[in-house]
Amino acid sequence: MLAVIAIVQIRELTRIYQQGDIKVVALDRVSLDIARGDFVALMGPSGSGKSTLLHIIAGIDRPTAGSCRVDGIEVAALSETELAGWRNSHIGFVFQTFNLIPVLTAFENVEMPLLLTGLSAAERRAHVEAAFELVGLADRMDHLPRQLSGGQEQRVAIARALVTDPTLIVADEPTGNLDAKSASDVLGLLEALNRDAGKTIIMVTHDPKAAAHARRTLHLEKGELLKDEEVRR
Ligand code: ADP
Ligand code: MG
């Protein structure tokens, strides 16, 4: 029988930031599993450790103690050089502020992660066009970011996050800078990518309406993961 291995396995994960004499425990012995194909919303008040947890999963930050395995790899054990390559092929990161490069077209922005792979220009074009189809912006590929609405910019950023077919898509407050209609479009897109394309997604949000698009919700408070019975509704 095949054991079902969680795509993300976190055990007793702790992150302490030390600034002079002040210690901030951003994550306090967090343990959790995320299955392949899941869509998890990570909620909690400001400062509860949501971004820290996302950054450790994505290999952007390193834990003080404990374990975080993504697809069987202990991320913190990778060197900085290994991390750069690992991140590029395994993590698609979506930011609150989109982070598109203003002087590049939408097409060129989405192509960026593929420049680090061995794909030919024709292969890259095919992957980029497929990503634009998935986010519903095939007619905007030659636009510059400033020629797009905020919602469209975020959909381009999502295309960039999924163009390498990463193990995980992680999104930190992806609708935080969007109006209600654009936010709803972006959430609908993430939901469809999970449901129809099988993408595994972890999304930080403090908006319960955004979290309702996910399959399950985790709650952080002061660096600790709340048990179901501890969540105030
Ligand atoms: P959230 O995303 O839930 O708002 P964060 O994960 O950004 O919370 O931060 C959790 C705690 O860790 C906060 O108290 C924050 O001030 C602190 N923190 C985060 N990053 C750093 C850092 N680079 N240096 C020092 N403290 C940090
Ligand atoms: Mg944050």
Cα dihedral 70, 73, 79, 81 sign: negative
Run of H or E including 132: helix 121-135
Q: Which ligand is nearest to the CA of 43?
A: 1
pTM score of the predicted model: 0.94
CB 39 within 8 A of CB 137: no
DSSP assignment of 42-77 equals EE--TTSSHHHHHHHHTTSS--SEEEEEETTEEGGG
| 175 Cα: distance to centroid of ligand 2 (angstroms) | 13
Rounded distance between C-alpha atoms, residue 162 and residue 130, angstroms:
10
Mutate to test the pocket of ligand 1, among 24, 54, 56, 57 (most ligand atoms within 8 A of CB): 24
pLDDT at 38 over 60: yes
- Written as six digits, the tokens of 85 are 């390559």
Return the domain boundaries, the chain.
6-230
Render pLDDT for 210-223 as a digit per residue (tens, 0 to 9).
999 999 999 999 99
Q: Which atom of ligand 1 is nearest to the CA of 52?
A: 6
Question: Is any atom of ligand 1 closer than 6 Å to the C-beta of 205?
Answer: no
Choice among 111-115, 117-121, 180-184, 228-232 with the minimum mean pLDDT: 228-232
Rounded distance between C-alpha atoms, residue 50 and residue 43, angstroms:
7
CATH superfamily of 6-230: P-loop containing nucleotide triphosphate hydrolases (3.40.50.300)
Question: Is any atom of ligand 1 closer than 6 Å to the C-beta of 44?
Answer: yes
